[in-house]
Structure 1
């Protein structure tokens, strides 16, 4: 086991990290990991074990670095079950953009060459940059995510170990067994005894998970946002559970989400269990569960004009997206019309051009149409101004023909410029898509009429908002919430006690 700090430790301040460990500060869980030389384990900063001596620890940015150096995951604090790092959204460098795609399983699907191609670099350049900035290459990072997926399948299903091995992305049973033993210091069978298996197979399986949430967290804004934008056929909200279809790499899925103050309960109905890790990652992005809202609050509360808004809802989130094409086309459909009208137009498109689910569940019956389907038949279905309809079809064709790349590995400035260059896409649409697709925390939607009116009512000057950087996306959410709260009482302030939500299905 290496005794020296990993390359990634150069980006971490030792004293600040150690103070977080001493105070067991859960805000830093997932933002870095603690490697303890005397025990050979790595932990989350909030681990309840006795705090190790400073000379016995090093700090790393990812679990993959700790694993590469021979450390095993702590059995007590389960460091792979923490919220993800917000670092990859705050930064837009190559390493951060690569991490967003690796988290979405791109290396397992296309290899390092595919990842490098998406990012516009050679595999050699990509390996060098990730090694310098994070401490390990893309294969080691993908292996760490594969291990986490394996643990979830082992502990949350009764699938056979051989099925789990291939569903988690391992090339062989031996590789699966070796990785589980190396990472968790237990055999797969021993690891299963710590879980609560429920009936599930590789085909048509249902897995229920509790997703960790970085605090503070205020569910009411997400409740309203998801409900207000829900499109019939692909989404539903019954006052307790948000459900939607997902178009995943190996087949469609349906997810049900119950959003509480300290966790999110996710029920995933998957056609193929290889998609579990990808589905979890996309849900986390949609709900912005990994955001460092505490850091955002520290900055925004310094402005007296925003402090009252932050106090009213300190855990607000900037919702992300589960599909880049869907996000862009739905945003274009909704330009200059009301939310109900946008939902109606989108639902009509889904019913006419969306692929029917092989196993529909109640009112979740379709996937959102592909760009190719809209490019071919959008003119037959879309209604409204000819200029808008033509723009949507043209953009769909550009995506289908790969002239307009849409993925989370793009630099924000490049994505915005590509969008603006398309006819029918203005500044607001481009900024909104960049914010949600890339999880960019520093987008001020200052051309939004509702946001501008909210700011005017609060006597907030939007001409210079550099004081809010790099958290202007969250300032945008606070201003939006303030406006919507006038007609939605639940958004007036964060609840004082946790919300109890009923489950859709009984879970054994």
Structure 2
């Protein structure tokens, strides 16, 4: 995209928000970089420079625009929709791996030397892992400065900075003002986030329009395992297992953004928590690409036109979803949630939740691998599959994390006895984030296909070829074609959402 200057300049001239997060506009005469849709600038073409990431623009000496806040735009969809090494590296950086393990640790996790990884990222993203992590730390710091009352020392620590001096220097370089100035401006304008107390941090999660919340939150609420997840007060709430301790997250749809309220055991986990919440709600997606592709199908077209912007509901923890996919084999959504809740009560670690009914983390793969089979309430064959998958995950033989190779993960999953095509594709769609996963034998898919007259078996698979590479999004429309609680927000909260 960076090489298509005419297209990018047209996007700037039209202030096209579809390009926000995909590319960043720098203006040579002002020394700032913006979103392509920024209303504050309309530079001459000779003064425009385009960069594939905020980090690349910062590395070139530009500071972030104070009006359009380009550093806060949704992330590039490329890092969610691709499985090459650069995309895997970007997802791991988003999880805070460089802050915890350094750039060399990131390279080791990907099986590359640091020099190889730096060369690949600079060619693709315009910046190396250290610069990308620095840009992310700056954005996290700004979010915490403007949306909380945390002391600056705690903000620096939570954002991943090694020292207050580095924190002050980077904030000044990126935003052209001191951290205290950012907070003073926020107190005057009260424009971003919510000032919170009692140990909670509330931030706004951006997304690209259009955004359809019904199936996304409906699915998460209908499949919620009591104690681990719940729908309360118009928000989906759940426990999180993070690198430095447990946490809870409450995600509430609001006009133009998602309100994210976090309670963390350790402030260093802010970056990882936000990254997981974004991936869980598919917030970095570009809704236009799948919409345009699926709207061309005569059967799906009317559904796409009625509710554009459907996202794929995922889980915050990929291993958890994989295990729950096995639990849910051939049983109803509610029954699977009940079994998952029982396992969490017996084998999950306790969590304190002063706001609601969250009590447990979902058990680790290691805990379920060692569980007494007598306490696994499922048929013998499924019990064997669950513990076989848990053992493989605990031993590291299967990687489903943000840095996973999707093709290898699929192959490794299929090698577990009892993990068939439906389970593999559901895990690929809802844990790995593959946009082209297609569980053709899923009951909801079959019911939706029947309702639309698309047939089943080979006929459906052949029809789905025209939906590539967006078959995961086609699944959302097929699910919505037949009645199911996952298709709608809980009734008691629909009025509340419309009133906000």
Is the shorter-chain TM-score for this pair beyond 0.5, marking a shared fold? yes
Count of residue correspondences = 487
1:220 to 214, 230, 235: 214
Residues 139-187 of structure 1 deviation map (CA, whole Å, 9 limit, x = unaligned): 1111111111111111112222222212211111111111001100001
1:265 maps to 2:241: no
Between the aligned partners of 2:490 and 2:150, the Cα distance in structure 1 is: 42
Distance 1:36 1:287, change over 3 A: same
Aligned counterparts of 1:439 and 1:290: Cα–Cα separation in 2: 11
Which residue pairs with 2:46 in the alignment? 55
CA distance in 2, matches of 1:349, 1:370: 10
Please show how residues 68-217 of structure 1 align to structure 2 within 5 Å: 68-196=59-187, 198=195, 200=197, 205-217=199-211
8 Å contact from structure 2 (residues 244, 268) kept in 1: yes
Q: Using the alignment, how far apart are the partners of 1:192 and 1:92 within structure 2?
A: 38
Counterparts of 1:322 and 1:497 in 2: how far apart (Å)?
25
Q: Distance in 2 between matches of 1:407 and 1:106?
A: 12
| Contact 1:205/1:273 (8 A) holds in 2 | no
CA contact (8 A) 1:90 1:470 kept: no
Offset of residue 57 of structure 1:
0.9
8 Å CA contact 2:140–2:271 kept in 1: the answer is: yes
Query: Could you tell me which residue of structure 2 aligns to residue 6 of structure 1?
Result: none
> Are the equivalent residues in 2 in contact too, given 1:360–1:366 (CA < 8 A)?
no
- Tell me the equivalent position of 1:414: 408
The question of 1:332 aligning with 2:312 is answered: no
Q: Partner of 1:365: helix, strand, or coil?
A: coil
The equivalent residue for 2:390 is 396
Counterpart-to-counterpart distance in 2, 1:489 and 1:103: 30
Q: Hey, what does 1:506 align to over in structure 2?
A: none
Give how far 1:415 is off.
Answer: 1.0
User: Is the Cα contact below 8 Å between 1:156 and 1:207 reproduced in 2?
Assistant: yes
Shift of 1:496: 13
- Partner Cα distance (1:275, 1:37) in 2: 36
Aligned equivalent of 1:274: 268
* Residue 233 (structure 1) aligned to one of 205, 227, 234: 227
Contact 1:244 1:255 in 2 (8 A): yes
Structure 1 residue 214: deviation in Å? 0.9
Report the Cα distance in structure 2 between the residues aligned to 1:343 and 1:357, rounded to whole angstroms.
19
Which one of the candidate residues 408, 417, 423 is aligned to 1:423?
A: 417
Aligned-pair distance for 1:61? 1.3
Matched residue SS, 2:262: strand
Partner of 1:462: 460
Distance 1:491 1:311 in 2: 23
Q: CA deviation at 1:261?
A: 4.3
- What is residue 4 of structure 1 aligned with on the other side? none
Assess if the C-alpha contact under 8 Å between 2:31 and 2:63 holds in 1.
yes
Q: Does 1:499 align with 2:493?
A: no
Native 8 Å contact 1:218 1:261 kept in 2: no
For 1:195, what is the secondary structure of its paired residue? helix
Paired residue secondary structure (2:258): strand
Alignment partner of 1:370 is 2:361? no
> Which stretch shows the higher mean deviation, 204-213 or 65-74?
204-213
Distance 1:497 1:154, change over 3 A: closer
Distance 1:237 1:426, change over 3 A: same
Mapped contact 1:287–1:318 kept (Cα < 8 A): yes
Whole-angstrom CA distance in 1 between matches of 2:433 and 2:186: 32
Assess, with a 3 A threshold, how the Cα gap between structure 1 residues 491 and 230 changes in structure 2: closer, same or farther: closer
> Shift in Å at residue 486 of structure 1?
9.3
In structure 2, do the counterparts of structure 1 residues 408 and 378 end up closer, same or farther at CA, with 3 Å as the change threshold?
farther
> What is residue 191 of structure 2 aligned with on the other side?
none
Within 5 A, what are the aligned runs for 1:333-372? Answer: 333-359=327-353, 361-372=355-366
Unaligned runs of 5+ in 1: 1-9, 502-508
> Quick one: distance in 1 between partners of 2:438 and 2:486?
23
Match of 2:241 in 1: 247
Structure 2 unmatched runs, 5+:
188-193
Q: Is the 8 Å Cα contact of residues 236 and 242 (structure 1) preserved in structure 2?
A: yes
Change in Cα spacing, 1:103 to 1:22, as seen in structure 2 (3 Å) is: same
- Cα deviation, residue 447, structure 1: 2.0
Kindly state the Cα deviation for residue 89 of structure 1 after the two structures are TM-superposed.
1.9
CA distance in 2, matches of 1:272, 1:195: 25
**TM-score, normalised with respect to structure 2:** 0.93
- Determine helix, strand or coil for the equivalent of 1:243: strand
Alignment CA distance shift 1:90-1:406 (3 Å): closer
d(CA) in 2 for partners of 1:103, 1:168: 12
The secondary structure found in structure 2 opposite 1:267 is strand
Q: Distance in 2 between the 1:66 and 1:469 partners?
A: 33
TM-score normalised over the length of structure 1: 0.91
